């Protein structure tokens, strides 16, 4: 115990000295949370160096309450999920409408932006394009009270939130991140076809199909359905941090959040992430995969702050993350100019879309 206290004190002293040294040079500083109570104060370049080393973290500079060491720590809300599927006939009918051609067309355009880096003008153009696509889907459906809006940040690229109201304002959320990065050259070509263009298009196609259901369109769901596309994930979960911290401060009720980050590579079973997630919702996702997909799953781990579900958890919301495969066999070309559309397996992407449709429809109509 004494040794632990001494180590913690030495770490705090080192962090303070580092901050003082950077402040003396008038360098902008960021506070990052690496989990287990470990935070560091870093420069922009130091932050990206950690990313290159494969370190995952949350940038909590503007949201200290999201830190793993925050006190009092936000407890994740307890939700009792259904023990079995209750909407199988409708869901199976809906997943029969999923369209690989539509998904390929949209991902081709999305990955053709030179980069979607969140600090770039091209990144802003990409988020503006995606917002227009989401709005077109909503308008075509005529969904009662539905909306799609930009969620602005203090950088140029916006996040996007699409809302399909239900009988209550309690939210069922599907998330993906819309930014991309080339870690060798942040101003270089960054198609991000798999990371996370695939997740963005998976959720867009699931949204399109769900809005062919007359009950969803009429607002008859028991819960409100939201689709999120986050900016700045590659910079430390920045966009989702802004959104979920704001939801927590406004006492917004979120019953479930599912993250879709990389859904299009390979033909292996899906990877159900088991660390930094809600165990009850994760158990439910295994049932959804069994009921509505054909490729099955394996459990896997991805580390603290590996994608935007971690922001939801940090804000006190139950979240889950299902990725394209076990983490050790995911796409190795991400964060480079080689993350291109020719690597996408469209059948695999549609398996994720089936899961999203099942998750969204079942929980929209579930009493939670």
Helix count and strand count (H, E) for the chain: 11, 11
**In angstroms, rounded to a whole number, what is the distance separating the alpha carbons of residues 275 and 219?**
34
Residue 7 burial (CB count, 10 A)? 10
∠ Cα 333 155 248 (to 5°): 95
Active site residue 335: yes
Collapsing DSSP to helix, strand or coil, 260 comes out as: coil
Active site residue 233: yes
Active site residue 44: no
Q: Do residues 200 and 176 touch, judged by C-beta distance below 8 A?
A: yes
- Among the listed residues 177, 228, 348, 352, the single catalytic one is 177
- Among the listed residues 133, 194, 242, 261, the single catalytic one is 261
∠ Cα 93 199 264 (to 5°): 85
- Among the listed residues 59, 133, 179, 234, the single catalytic one is 234
**In angstroms, rounded to a whole number, what is the distance separating the alpha carbons of residues 252 and 81?**
19
What tokens does 276 get? 């930094």
Nearest CA to 115 among 125, 107, 106? 125
Q: Do residues 61 and 30 touch, judged by C-beta distance below 8 A?
A: yes
- Among the listed residues 233, 278, 324, 339, the single catalytic one is 233
Strand partners of residue 64:
none
Collapsing DSSP to helix, strand or coil, 163 comes out as: strand
- Among the listed residues 33, 195, 226, 362, the single catalytic one is 195
Nearest CA to 197 among 282, 324, 328? 324
Q: Do residues 165 and 145 touch, judged by C-beta distance below 8 A?
A: yes
Active site residue 53: no
Active site residue 177: yes
- Among the listed residues 63, 309, 335, 348, the single catalytic one is 335
Residue 48 phi, psi dihedral angles, 5° rounding: -70, -30
Task: Show the 3-state SS of 95-127.
Answer: HCCCCHHHHHHHHHHHHCCCECCCCCHHHHHHH
Q: Do residues 233 and 240 touch, judged by C-beta distance below 8 A?
A: yes
Residue 27 phi, psi dihedral angles, 5° rounding: -100, 135
Q: Do residues 330 and 324 touch, judged by C-beta distance below 8 A?
A: yes
Catalytic residues: 177, 195, 233-234, 261, 335
């Amino acid at each position: 115990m004494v040794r632990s206290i001494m180590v913690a004190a030495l770490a705090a002293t080192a962090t303070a000295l580092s901050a003082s040294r950077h402040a003396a040079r008038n360098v902008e500083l960021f506070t990052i949370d690496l989990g287990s109570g470990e935070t560091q104060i870093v420069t922009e370049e130091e932050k990206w160096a950690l990313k290159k080393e494969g370190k995952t973290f949350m940038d909590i500079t503007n949201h200290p309450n999201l830190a793993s060491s925050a006190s009092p720590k936000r407890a994740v809300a307890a939700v009792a999920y259904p023990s079995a599927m209750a909407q199988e006939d409708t869901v199976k009918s809906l997943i029969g409408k999923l369209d690989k051609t539509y998904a390929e067309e949209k991902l081709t355009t999305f990955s053709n932006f030179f980069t979607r880096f969140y600090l770039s003008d091209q990144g802003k153009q990409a988020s503006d394009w995606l917002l227009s696509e989401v709005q077109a889907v909503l308008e075509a459906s005529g969904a009662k009270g539905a909306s799609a809006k930009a969620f602005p940040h203090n950088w140029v690229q916006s996040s996007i939130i699409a809302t399909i109201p239900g009988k209550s304002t309690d939210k069922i959320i599907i998330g993906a991140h819309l930014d991309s990065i080339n870690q060798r050259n942040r101003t270089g070509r960054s198609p991000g076809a798999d990371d996370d263009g695939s997740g963005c298009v998976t959720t867009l196609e699931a949204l399109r199909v769900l809005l062919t259901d007359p009950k969803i369109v009429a607002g008859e769901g028991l819960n409100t359905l939201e689709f999120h596309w986050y900016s700045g994930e590659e910079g430390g979960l920045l966009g989702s941090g802004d959104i979920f911290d704001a939801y927590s401060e406004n006492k917004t009720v979120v019953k479930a959040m599912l993250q879709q980050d990389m859904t299009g590579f390979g033909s292996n079973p899906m990877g159900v992430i088991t660390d930094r997630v809600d165990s009850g919702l994760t158990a439910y996702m295994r049932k959804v995969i069994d009921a509505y997909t054909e490729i099955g799953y394996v459990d896997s781990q991805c580390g603290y702050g590996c994608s935007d579900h971690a922001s939801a958890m940090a804000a006190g919301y139950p979240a889950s993350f299902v990725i394209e495969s076990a983490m050790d066999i995911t796409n190795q070309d991400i964060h480079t100019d080689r993350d291109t559309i020719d690597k996408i397996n469209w059948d695999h992407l549609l398996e994720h879309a089936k899961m999203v449709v099942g998750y969204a429809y079942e929980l929209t109509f579930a009493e939670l």
